[in-house]
Structure 1
Amino acid sequence: MSDVALPDPAEGEIRVRIEACGLNFADLLMVKGSYQDTPELPFTLGMEVAGVVESCGPGADRFAPGTRVAVYGGRGGLAEAGNFDASRAVALPDDMDAVDAAAFQIAYGTSHVALDHRARLKEGETLLVLGASGGVGLTAVEIGAQMGATVIACARGPEKLEIAKVAGAHHLIDAGTADIRAEVKALGGADVVYDPVGGEQFEAAFRACNPEARILTIGFASGDVPRIKANHLLVKNISVIGLYWGGYLSFRPEVVTESLTTLLDWYEAGRIKPHVSHVLPLDRAAEGLELLRTRQATGKVVIRIAD
C-alpha cells in the first residue's frame, strides 16, 4: 500500500470516502491483464464500493455530501477514498450497511439482467445454475427462485450445496462427483442455463437442455472457453446468450438503473440478502483475492476499508 494524493473531483464526479469494497473474479483477470476492461497501468483494483459522498465536482450535484452510496467504478475501490463518475452511483437504503452494499451491485445486477432482461426467465421454467455457490452463481439461485423458476444448483461439495439450498435451490447436484447431464435430464432438463464456469460443465449443461433452451454465458471461471457446435444449436433450437453487465453502462444504462431499482426494492422487502463469506481489512486484500482464486469463498468477499 502507498499514499497517493487524490485530485479534486472532475466534472461529473463525486468523491467517496470508501467504507467497503467488494472483490470479484474480474479483479483476478485484471491482475493477469486478461479482463476485457483492464485499465492501463498503474491502477488500483476494486470494482465496486460503498461509502459516503464527501464532495462533488461540477455538474455532479445529484448526491449531496453525506449521502451514502454504492458505486460501480470498475477500479479504484481498494483505497480510503476515490473519485467516481456520479452516474455510476446509487443511493443506499437506510437499513443497508456498507458490507451488503459493497457485495450487491455486480453480483445481483449481473444475475438479474441476465435472467430477466436477456433470458426472459418465466415462472415454472427450470433454471440450471452452474457455480451456484460463487459470487454471481448464488445470486442467480436466489433471483431465479424469486422469479418462480425451479432452480437446480450445481456446485462442488455438500457445504457449498447447502448454501445454495438456503438461497432457494430446489435440487442440488455435486459438480465434483455427479454426472451433471444425467441428473439434469432426470429432473426434466433445463430451460435456462446460467453459466459462469465454462469448460466441461458447459458441455454437460448444453447436452441437458430442453428444446428452445437459453444458455447464458456469464464467464469462464474454469479457464476453459467452450467451443459451441452450431449444428447442435440448430437441431434443438437452443440460444446461447452473452451477458456482460458492465457493458450496458455504455450503450443502455437504463437497463442497469431499472434493474438496480428493482433489486434494492427486493432488498428492502427482505426478499434477497447478500451472502458474504469473508470480511477482511484492507491490509489483507491479497488474502481475499486468493480466496477467490482458490475457490474457498462462497458468495462474496468484502474488504472493509473503514467503519
Structure 2
Amino acid sequence: MHAWLCEDPVGVDALTWKELPTPQPGPGEVLVEIKAASLNFPDILIVQNKYQIKPPLPFVPGSEYAGVVQAVGEGVKHLKVGQNVACLSGTGGFGTYTIAPAALCMPLPDGFGHVDAAAFIMIYATSWHALMDRAQLKAGETVLVLGAAGGVGTAAIQIAKAAGAKVIAAASSPEKCALCESLGADSTINYSEHKPGPALREAIKQATGGRGPDVIYDPVGGEFAEPAFRSIAWRGRYLVVGFASGPIPSLPLNLALLKGASLVGVFWGDFSKREPQANAAMMAELAQWYGQGKIKPVIDRTMPMSELKAAYAHMGSRGVMGKLVLTN
C-alpha cells in the first residue's frame, strides 16, 4: 500500500508519499481499501500539531474516508468482505488502504457513492448534533449560518431547511452566496461587503426584520463572533462549532445576560463516544435523509490522492465551496 506519512508535524510540506506494508486487522477492526477521502479543517491542524488530538508519530492523516472492506478482524459481525463503508476515524484516510475500527464504520446502502460518502459523516453529524440536538431547532425559527459555503455550513443550510427553519447564509463572495441560495437559503449576507462590526450587525438586523436570529451556527469564530452574538434574538442559542478563521474569540458575557441567550458548545466527536446510541440513531436518520434526497454533500472538486498537497493549498486559500475529495 501507499500513504501520505506525517513523521514530523510541522506542516503539509513535511508529508511524504511512502510505500508501506499492507496491515491486517486485529480484533474489532477491518481493512478498508480507500476509494475516496475528504479534506477537513482538522486535517490541516493535525499535521501542524495544532489539533486537540495528537496521534503518536508517525501517522497517516485523513480523518474521513470511504471504501471497500477487504478483511475483517476477530469479533466483527456487522461488516463483511466486499461491503462499502464510510468511516471517520481521525487518521488513516490519505492512503490506499487503512485499518479502521469496525464500530466507526457506517455501512453504505445501495446508491450511496464513495465520493459523497467520504464527504458525509463529519459535516452532517456535526450540523445535525448542533442544530437539532444542542439548539433544539424548531420549524419557523431563523438560523444564521456563518461560513455558510464551507463543508459544515452547506450541511447546516440543508438540515435547517429540512427542519422547517428560515436560513440566512453568510459567506465571503457573491459566488459563495449564490451557492447558498441554490441550497435553499432564504437570504444571504456577503461579509466582504458587510465587514465584521456595525456593518455586519446592520445586515443581520435587516435580514431578520430587527428581531435577530434564533440560532447562530458559527464554525468561523474570530472577529465575526461578537457582532453576530450582539445581533442574536431573545432566548437565542449561539452554537460554538469551530474557529476556521484562526483566532478564538473572547465574548463579553454580559451579552448573554442582556439577550437571555445561551452560548452552546458543539463537540460531535465526544458526543459520539459518550452517547453512542443517540449518535447511531442520528446517523441512521441522516442516511435516510440522503436516500430521500433531502441532503447531499456539496463537492467542490475531486482530486487524485497523489495531489494531496495541492488540495491542502486550495483549502488554505479559502476558495473551497463545500468539500474537497481525494480519490484513488
Which residue pairs with 2:52 in the alignment? 36
The amino acid of 2:87's aligned partner reads V
1:152 aligns with 2:168: yes
The 2-side partners of 1:245 and 1:286 are apart by 27
> Contact 1:25–1:293 at 8 Å: present in 2 too?
no
The amino acid of 1:215's aligned partner reads Y
> Contact 2:23–2:31 at 8 Å: present in 1 too?
no
Using the TM superposition, give the Cα deviation of residue 210 of structure 1 relative to its aligned residue in structure 2, in angstroms: 0.7
The 1-side partners of 2:127 and 2:313 are apart by 24
The amino acid of 1:287's aligned partner reads A
Write out aligned runs for 1:243-282 (5 A).
243-282=266-305
The 1-side partners of 2:230 and 2:92 are apart by 41
After superposition, what is the alpha-carbon deviation per residue over 1:202-252, rounded to whole angstroms, capped at 9, x for unaligned? 111101101110011111011111112222211211111111211123211
Using the TM superposition, give the Cα deviation of residue 32 of structure 1 relative to its aligned residue in structure 2, in angstroms: 1.3
Which residue pairs with 1:94 in the alignment? 110
Write out aligned runs for 1:154-233 (5 A).
154-178=170-194, 179-186=199-206, 187=208, 188-233=211-256
1:15 aligns with 2:31: yes
- SS of equivalent to 1:5: coil
After superposition, what is the alpha-carbon deviation per residue over 1:9-40, rounded to whole angstroms, capped at 9, x for unaligned? 01100111110001101111111111111312
Which residue pairs with 2:120 in the alignment? 104
Which region of structure 1 is more displaced relative to structure 2, 185-194 or 244-253? 244-253
Query: How many aligned residue pairs are there?
Result: 305
Q: What is the root-mean-square deviation of aligned Cα atoms in Å?
A: 1.0
> Contact 1:17–1:53 at 8 Å: present in 2 too?
yes
- SS of equivalent to 1:190: coil
Percent identity between the aligned chains?
Answer: 40
- SS of equivalent to 2:236: strand
> Contact 2:225–2:251 at 8 Å: present in 1 too?
no
Using the TM superposition, give the Cα deviation of residue 256 of structure 1 relative to its aligned residue in structure 2, in angstroms: 2.2
The amino acid of 2:145's aligned partner reads V
The amino acid of 1:183's aligned partner reads A
The 2-side partners of 1:272 and 1:68 are apart by 20
The 2-side partners of 1:295 and 1:88 are apart by 30
Which residue pairs with 1:135 in the alignment? 151
The 2-side partners of 1:213 and 1:197 are apart by 18
Q: Which runs of 5+ in 2 are unaligned?
A: 1-16
Using the TM superposition, give the Cα deviation of residue 41 of structure 1 relative to its aligned residue in structure 2, in angstroms: 1.6
> Contact 1:194–1:218 at 8 Å: present in 2 too?
yes
Which is bigger in relative contact order (C-alpha 8 A, separation at least 6)?
1
The 2-side partners of 1:231 and 1:93 are apart by 48
Using the TM superposition, give the Cα deviation of residue 168 of structure 1 relative to its aligned residue in structure 2, in angstroms: 1.1
After superposition, what is the alpha-carbon deviation per residue over 1:281-305, rounded to whole angstroms, capped at 9, x for unaligned? 0110111111111111110000002
> Contact 1:282–1:304 at 8 Å: present in 2 too?
yes
Q: Which runs of 5+ in 1 are unaligned?
A: none
